[in-house]
Amino acid sequence: MWIAYKTIVTKEILRFVRIWIQTIVPPVITTSLYLLIFGGLMGGRIGQMQGVDYLDFIVPGIILMTVIMQSYANTVSSFFMTKYNNSFEELLVSTTPNWVILLGFVSGGVCRGLTIGLAVTFTISFFVEIQIHSFIVIGITFLITSVMFALAGFINAVFAKTFDDISIVPNFVLLPLTYLGGMFYSIDILPSFWRSVSIFNPIYYMMDAFRMGFLGVGSVELWKAFLVPCIMIIILALIANRLLSRGVSIKTE
């Protein structure tokens, strides 16, 4: 099982590294533009947010958004492609258990999130001096965020029938949730109604914890910020494993 797991993860890493111009370069360019526009040009006029400079405030959000989008994109595109070119049959005829397949694809998503997250952090370091409050909090938040969105991407890929189906969720669900999860602002500045709405957005908790890890400031207690995504991970993992076991959209019914 360990060999099968290692094989899937290696294959996944090679896949996104092989197409680095599509996977690594665009987020780095987007990040630079975000920092230039929101941080450099507009940040000075906004002043401070939660007691820190605006440019420093948006840095954790930009990194976490990259991790979310990349973890999701890796599993959704990779698993969909294995369905599309029927290469998933290579796994179906093998002795690899379903949970190892799932773990392998999710780990691939986590690796892409980490690789591109680090590339983006490195790029940001040219624009701003990055502060680190707690490596442990940053590490835990990164891990649970990437696992959760890699799982979500996997489930999306199971149901996807066309290439359109794999881009709908990232564009129409993930991106708005990320923006509304406090990436560019603290939810403390929102009217009470919208503040109440925000607490149902799981990305808000991750964003808050990640910012705590970098800047030491946050609105939510850390245990709550970790608990919400952990519950989501358990639910998503159970759904994904069930879908694989039943062969939904993989084995012809």
Partner 1 sequence: MTLALSTDSLTKIYSNNLEALKGVNLRVEKGDFFALLGSNGAGKTTAIGIISGLLKSTSGEVKINGLDQNKHANEVKKMIGLMPQEFNFNPHEPNMEILMNQAGYFGISRAEAKIQAEVLLKKMELWDRRFDVAQSLSGGMKRRLMLARALMHKPSILILDEPTAGVDVEIRKSMWDYLTQLNKEGMTIILTTHYLEEAESLCRNIAILNDGDLVEQTNMKKLLLKAKRQVLILDTIEKLTNNISIADCDCVVIDDTTLQVAQGENTSISDVILSLSAQNINVSHLRSSQNRLEALFLSITS
Residue 162 neighbours by CB distance under 10 Å: 10
Find the binder of partner 1 among 41, 92, 173, 189 (CB under 8 A). Answer: 92
**Residue 21 contacts partner 1 per CB under 8 A:** no
Binding mask 66-85 for partner 1 (x = CB under 8 A): ---------------xx--x
Alpha carbons 84 and 88: distance in angstroms, whole number: 9
- Shorter beta-carbon distance to partner 1: residue 11 or 133: 11
Residue 25 neighbours by CB distance under 10 Å: 12
CA 236 and chain centroid, separation: 14
Residue numbers 93-132 binding partner 1 by CB under 8 A? 93-96
- Shorter beta-carbon distance to partner 1: residue 97 or 216: 97
- Shorter beta-carbon distance to partner 1: residue 12 or 208: 12
3-state SS, one letter per residue, for 166-211 = HHHHHHHHHHHHHHHHHHCCCHHHCCHHHHHHHCCCHHHHHHHHHH
CB 98 within 8 A of CB 245: yes
3-state SS assignment for residue 48: strand
Alpha carbons 187 and 91: distance in angstroms, whole number: 45
- Shorter beta-carbon distance to partner 1: residue 7 or 167: 7
Identify which range of 10-18, 52-60, 169-177, 215-223 contacts partner 1 by CB under 8 A: 10-18
Identify which range of 2-10, 53-61, 139-147, 169-177 contacts partner 1 by CB under 8 A: 2-10
Residues that bind partner 1 in the complex, under the rule CB under 8 A: 1, 3-4, 6-8, 11, 14, 18, 81-82, 85-87, 89-96, 247, 251-253
